[in-house]
Amino acid sequence: MTDFLLELRSEEIPARMQAGARADLEKLFRKQLDAAGLKAGDITVWSTPRRLALIARDLPLATQAVSEETKGPKTSAPEQALEGFLRKTGLTKDQLTERDGVWFAVTEKPGRATKDVLAEAIPAIIRAFPWPKSQRWGAASLSTESLRWVRPLSGIVAILGEDLVECEIGGVTSGYATLGHRFHHAGEITIGSAHDYAEKLRACHVIVDHVEREAMVREKAKAAAEAAGLVLVEDEGLVIENAGLTEWPVPLLGRFDEAFLDVPPEVIQLTARVNQKYFICRDSAGKLANAFVCTANIEAKDGGAAIVDGNRKVLAARLSDARFFWEQDKKKPLAEQAQKLSRITFHEKLGTVADKVERVAKLARWLVEEDIVKPSPLEGRGLGEGEARATLATQAELAARLCKADLVTEMVGEFPELQGLMGGYYARAEGLPDAVADAIRDHYKPVGQGDDVPTAPVTVAVALADKLDTLASFFSVDERPTGSKDPFALRRAAIGVIQLMLTNNLRFKVFSAYVVSTSMIITSGLLADLNERRNAVENALTNLFGGNQQAFDLGDATSGPAKERLTSEFMRSVEAAKLLLNFFADRLKVQQREAGVRHDLIDAVFALGGEDDLVRLLARVHALQAFVGTEDGTNLLAGYKRAANILKKEGFAANPNAGSEGEGVVPPTGEEDPLVLVDDPALEGVAAQFSHPQCNYAREPAEQALVDALNSAEPQATGAIAAEDFTAAMAALATLRGPIDAFFDEVTVNDADANKRASRLALLDRFRAAVHKVADFSRIEG
Would you say how long the chain is, in residues? 782
Measured CA angle at 611 (ends 607, 617), to 5 deg: 95
414 φ/ψ angles, rounded to the nearest 5 degrees? -80, -40
Handedness of CA 85, 91, 93, 96 (dihedral sign): negative
Within a 10 A sphere around the Cβ of 193, how many other Cβ atoms?
17
Cα separation values, 281 from 224, 263, 272, 273, Å: 10, 15, 11, 12
pLDDT for the residue numbered 381: 63
CB atoms within 10 A of CB 13: 22
CA 460/CA 439 separation, integer angstroms: 8
**CA quadruple 352, 353, 355, 358: dihedral, nearest 10:** -170
CA geometry: angle 327, 331, 336, nearest 5 deg: 135
Q: Supply the DSSP symbol for 475.
A: H
Q: In the prediction, which pLDDT does 573 show?
A: 66
Reduce the DSSP state of residue 134 to 3 states and report it.
Answer: coil
| Omega before residue 433 within 30° of 0, cis | no
**Cα–Cα distance measured from residue 367 to residue 462, given in angstroms and rounded to the nearest whole number:** 9
Give dist(CA 518, CA 494) in Å, integer: 16
Q: Return the pLDDT at 653.
A: 59
pLDDT at 652: 67
Helix, strand, coil in percent for the chain, rounding step 5: 55, 15, 35
User: Beta-carbon neighbour count of residue 235 at 10 Å?
Assistant: 19
- In the three-class reduction of DSSP (H, G, I as helix; E, B as strand; rest coil), residue 540 is classed as helix
Asked if 412 contacts 418 with a C-beta cutoff of 8 angstroms, the reply is: yes
pLDDT of residue 670: 37
Separation between Cα atoms, residue 305 and residue 295, nearest integer Å: 13
The pLDDT assigned to 690 comes to 41
Low-confidence ranges of the chain (pLDDT < 70): 378-382, 509-574, 610-612, 652-695
Strand partners, 288: 282
Tell me the residue type at 196.
Answer: D
Contact 292, 280 (CB under 8 A): yes
How far is it, in rounded angstroms, from Cα 237 to Cα 118? 36
pLDDT of the residue at 31 = 94
Question: How many CA atoms does the CB half-sphere of 542 hold within 13 Å?
Answer: 14
**Nearest in space to 216 (alpha carbons), one of 181, 241, 251:** 251
Summarised one tens digit per residue, pLDDT across range 113-123 is 999 999 999 99
Task: Decide if 300 contacts 363 (C-beta within 8 A).
Answer: no
**Which one-letter DSSP state was computed for residue 93?**
G
Q: Which helix (H) or strand (E) holds 253?
A: strand 250-255
